[in-house]
Structure 1
Amino acid sequence: MKLVMVHGWSVTDTRVYGGLPEALARFAPESLALDIEHIFLGRYISFNDEVRITDVADAFERARQERLQDERFAVVTHSTGAPVIRTWLARYYAALPQGEQGQKALNQCPLSHLIMLAPANHGSALAQLGKSRLGRLKSWFDGVEPGQQILDWLELGSQGQHQLSRYWLSQNPVADGLYPFVISGETIDSNLYDFLNSYTAEPGSDGVVRLAGANLNYRSLELAETPTLDDTGRAELSITADVMAPACGFEVLPRASHSGNKLGIMTSVNGRSPKPKPVVSRILQCLQVGSAGDYSALCQKMADSRPRTGPRFTQLVVRLWDNEGEPIRDFDFLLLAGPDYDPGKLPKGFFQDRQKNQRSGNALTLYLNHDRMLKTAQGCWGFRIIPRPDRGLAHYRQVEFRCAGHLADYLVADQTLMLDVHLTRHLHPHVFSLTGANEQGDFRQLAEV
């Protein structure tokens, strides 16, 4: 078996892989035929402002063709390495089986296993701090500033994440012979805690990536404004599309943080240890999967691997568009709870964090305490959006969505719910009107509505 390893952001030395390559080669069963000379260490530039994540994906394709040609191979990624490889899949294997001539579908991909360690699949809350502040977090970045364009991709709710997530929703990787797995942790290494930035000790995360942001089991809802108005003049929202991502193996590993020689999910592995660490054993089990039945059994084993004792969290990513597909950037978003759908009836302690994407402006990410949200009365939840402008020549109506008794179906622990909300752009009759030829005169007052 050929194995490629792909590191995360702002890495400048292949020693970041620690003893993981050696440990995998040492403890691999003979059936895998995984020797150290069959392991390739990826090196890519993520600390240059001009480099985009799509550039890295294209460069990976060139390197793959040079070293592996069309041989089947597996990949183990860390952190941003997962979006790099998933972007490569989206760029080179995006066609449907009956797609256009010359395009390739996922079932033609030479990648057999994608094992993602602490992946930033839905971004990282740290990214919004900016490259200068991140570079000063010496414990994480050792003074190396991450590249701006990759940082933009990693900011919660980015358009790049949105596009990649939508691609993945249309795929069926296991049926096409690709077996994806996510292994992450939620342990905070006190040696890496930054007292000026609480995100490095955020509950439900490994200090950099949230479990809900790593997990590739997510759901996407599309909602659209309807003509139906309530007594207050708010329009109702209806669900126009509800899609679940393809099932993906997911495991929360005990005593695993994002980085660090002591607890880092990858960097703490000692290649000379007499017995393999849990992460090494699990990776090797993932690599041995060869059928849909094997995959399903291992996914269940991963899900049942450890009882969770602490609070669990869920992530909600809201994006607001008009009916022309243009982003709406100025809006308020209120969660509603209880049979009266009252924002004042949300459970105490439900809220953990919120971020609005600075680049797109129309994406808002909420991080919620899942266990507290389950205490919502009768499982009733919803949300209200107050967009602006709400009056004038071109404006939007307030909208509301209500869902009775299905909170646990939509807000799932350690998962992300994507909401794409489409509002109607309402035009005043004064925007364009016709008048008789004998009624000439100044019409500037028509703009005063």
Structure 2
Amino acid sequence: MKLVMVHGWSVTDTRVYGGLPEALARFAPESLALDIEHIFLGRYISFNDEVRLADVADAFERARQERLQGESFAIVTHSTGAPVIRTWLARYYSQGAQGLKQCPLTHLIMLAPANHGSALAQLGKSRLGRLKSWFDGVEPGQQILDWLELGSLGQHQLSRYWLSQDPVADGLYPFVISGETIDSNLYDFLNSYTAEPGSDGVVRLAGANLNYRWLELTETQTLDDNGRAVLIPTADVIAPACGFEVLPRASHSGSKLGIMTSVNGRSPKPRPVVSRILQCLQVGSAGDYSALCQQMADSNPRSGPRFTQLVVRLWDNEGEPICDFDFLLLAGPDYDPGKLPRGFFKDRQKNQRSGNALTLYLNHDRMLKTAEGCLGFRILPRPDNGLAHYRPVEFRCAGKLAEYLRADQTLMLDVHLTRHIHPHVFSLTGASEQGDFRQLAEV
């Protein structure tokens, strides 16, 4: 089996893979026919401002054709390497004649992947360049940084693509292996995100996990007793199942606890991440995949709180983004923002380039204490009056809290509001009704 390794972002040296390639080749069973000669270390440039994620995916395709030609292969990625390969899949093996059935990739094993971005990305290039936990002193490229910012349009598009796929049925077996240990040696005392609970110091478990859900809500003409429009679900899609495991004592990077860089190729025993990767590579059927996914889920040892991520995007009925709005979570049978459980909230970020996207990071275990499992939200969009405006809206999911918000997962929420146009915007008058109509604009 040929194995390609794809590193994370702003890496400048293939030594970042540590002893992982050597350990995999050394402990691989003979049935895999895996040895050091079959391992290619991916190299790509991500610290240039002009380079986009799609550019890297296109460059990977050229490198694949040159080096691997038509041969099948497996991939192990780290961090941003996962979005690179998933973007490559979306660009070259989307639905149609060139679907995943035609793809030469057999196994996609993602270590600490930034599939739904990273909270660190909003800090900016110069600050991130000082964080050795991810960038090793290299200033990151701006356009890939934009993709990684929570709630980016690029993440939204890639996640929507993945929802329409059935990788296991097409012979592609995806896995996510991540950690939630913070390496104190890599903690940045000026940035609390490097010690954020439910993360590995860089990527949240909910941001790594490819088990996620997309819910689309649309405004109706029905108004509640307070004059707010009622939202109803118009689409509800769960992502294809993906193997997911949280490894104990694994951080994003670092020679001591890094999920990849801490592996010693000369160790007499394989580290847990090495053993699990080799198990993933041996999966050869849907039955094998399902069994290993269950084993990975059962082995997740959790002692601390679990978190969930909610990404809200607001659009009008013309498909235009709505960027000015207030978003209030509601809880309890009365759907009161004051009835949310204490300590439920951890973080929120509004995307700097997609102003209609808001990401909330919530304590899942605390949210489960919401009275009667009732959760909802209210949106107050602006402008809320005038010739063109939006109505306040509300959504209630009685008894479905545990269904929509799941531990270590992301809920993508697209909300479509109606743009209300006042009749004064355009009217026809008779010849006898001539006169100044500027006062009609004062509504």
With structure 2 as the length reference, what TM-score do the two structures score?
A: 0.99
Larger CA deviation: 437-446 vs 6-15: 437-446
Distance 1:333 1:103 in 2: 42
| Corresponding residue pairs, total | 443
Tell me the CA shift for residue 136 of structure 1. 1.9
What are the equivalent positions in structure 2 for 1:204-215 lying under 5 Å apart?
204-215=198-209
Kindly state the Cα deviation for residue 206 of structure 1 after the two structures are TM-superposed: 0.1
* SS of 1:274 mapped into structure 2: coil
Query: Are the aligned partners of 2:134 and 2:202 in contact in 1 as well (CA < 8 Å)?
Result: no
Cα distance in 2 for residues equivalent to 1:109 and 1:164: 17
Task: Output the CA distance in 2 between the equivalents of 1:202 and 1:446.
Answer: 53
Whether 1:231 aligns to 2:225 is yes
Deviation, 1:443, is: 1.1
1:220/1:88 CA distance change after superposition, 3 Å = same
Flag structure 1 segments of 5+ consecutive residues without an equivalent.
94-99
> Aligned partners of 2:297 and 2:318: how far apart in 1?
41
2 CA distance for matches of 1:141 and 1:290? Answer: 35
Question: Which whole-Å deviations, capped at 9, do the CAs of 1:48-88 have from their partners, x for residues lacking one?
Answer: 00000000000000000000011000000000000000000
Tell me how far 1:231 sits from its aligned partner. Answer: 1.5
Taking the TM superposition and a 5 Å limit, the aligned residue runs for 1:313-392 are 313-392=307-386
How many Å separate the matches in 2 of 1:101 and 1:113? 19
| SS of aligned partner of 1:139 | coil
Secondary structure in structure 1 of the residue aligned to 2:168? coil
**CA offset digits 1:182-237 (Å, max 9, x no partner):** 00000000000000000000000000000000000000000000000012110000
Q: Please report how far the alpha carbon of residue 141 of structure 1 lies from its aligned counterpart in structure 2 after TM superposition.
A: 2.1
Contact 1:140 1:192 in 2 (8 A): no
1:140 is paired with a residue whose SS is: coil
SS at match of 2:4: strand
Residue in structure 1 matched with residue 416 of structure 2 by the alignment: 422
Determine the C-alpha separation between the residues in 1 that align with 2:34 and 2:434.
85
Please tell me whether the aligned partners of residues 134 and 252 of structure 2 are also in contact (alpha carbons under 8 angstroms).
no
Q: How big is the shift at 1:110?
A: 0.3
Task: For residues 400-431 of structure 1, give each alpha carbon's deviation from its aligned partner in whole angstroms, at most 9, with x where no partner exists.
Answer: 00011110011000000000000000000100
Q: Note the C-alpha offset of 1:307.
A: 3.0
Q: How many angstroms apart in 2 are the aligned matches of 1:69 and 1:210? A: 35
In 1: Cα distance, 2:301 partner to 2:66 partner: 44
1:270-289 per-position Cα deviation (integer Å, ceiling 9, x unaligned): 00000100000000000000
For residues 280-299 of structure 1, what are the structure 2 equivalents within 5 Å? 280-299=274-293
Comparing 395-404 and 133-142, the one that deviates more:
133-142
Deviation of 1:39 (Å): 0.2
Contact 1:6 1:75 in 2 (8 A): yes
SS at structure 2 position matched to 1:114? strand
Distance 2:428 2:206 in 1: 54
| 1:262-312 deviation per Cα after TM superposition (whole angstroms, max 9, x unaligned) | 000000000000010000000000000000000000000000013311100
CA contact (8 A) 2:350 2:359 kept: yes
Q: Provide the C-alpha distance between the structure 2 equivalents of 1:231 and 1:250, rounded to a whole number of angstroms.
A: 44
What is the CA-CA distance between 1:441 and the residue it aligns to?
1.3
3-state DSSP of counterpart to 1:289: coil
Distance in 2 (alpha carbons) for counterparts of 1:359 and 1:133: 19
- Residue 117 of structure 1 and its aligned partner are, at CA, apart by 0.1
- Measured in 2, the distance between the counterparts of 1:27 and 1:141 equals 30
Per the alignment, residue 273 of structure 1 pairs with: 267
Q: Cα RMSD over matched residues?
A: 1.0
Equivalent residue, structure 2, for 1:145 = 139
Change (3 A) 1:371 1:228: same
Q: Does structure 2 conserve the Cα–Cα contact (< 8 Å) formed by 1:396 and 1:424? A: yes
What 5-or-longer segments of structure 2 have no aligned partner? none
Q: 1:314·1:416 contact (CA, 8 Å) conserved in 2?
A: yes
Distance 2:286 2:96 in 1: 28
Structure 1 position 439, deviation (Å): 1.1
1:314/1:412 contact within 8 Å kept: yes
CA contact (8 A) 1:113 1:180 kept: yes
Q: Could you list the per-position Cα deviations for residues 96-117 of structure 1 after superposition, in whole angstroms to 9, with x for gaps in the alignment?
A: xxxx998401110000000000
CA distance in 2: counterparts of 1:140 and 1:258, whole angstroms = 8
CA contact (8 A) 1:118 1:265 kept: yes
Q: Report the CA distance shift for 1:188/1:31 in structure 2 as closer, same or farther (over 3 A).
A: same
Check conservation: 1:334, 1:384, Cα contact below 8 A: yes
Stretch moving more, 123-132 or 306-315: 306-315
Return the alpha-carbon distance in structure 2 between the equivalents of residues 354 and 279 of structure 1: 31
Partners of 2:133 and 2:252 within 8 A in 1: no
**8 Å contact from structure 1 (residues 316, 416) kept in 2:** yes
Shift of 1:438: 1.4
Offset at residue 143 of structure 1 (A): 2.1
Secondary structure of 2:47's partner? coil
Distance 1:258 1:307 in 2: 18
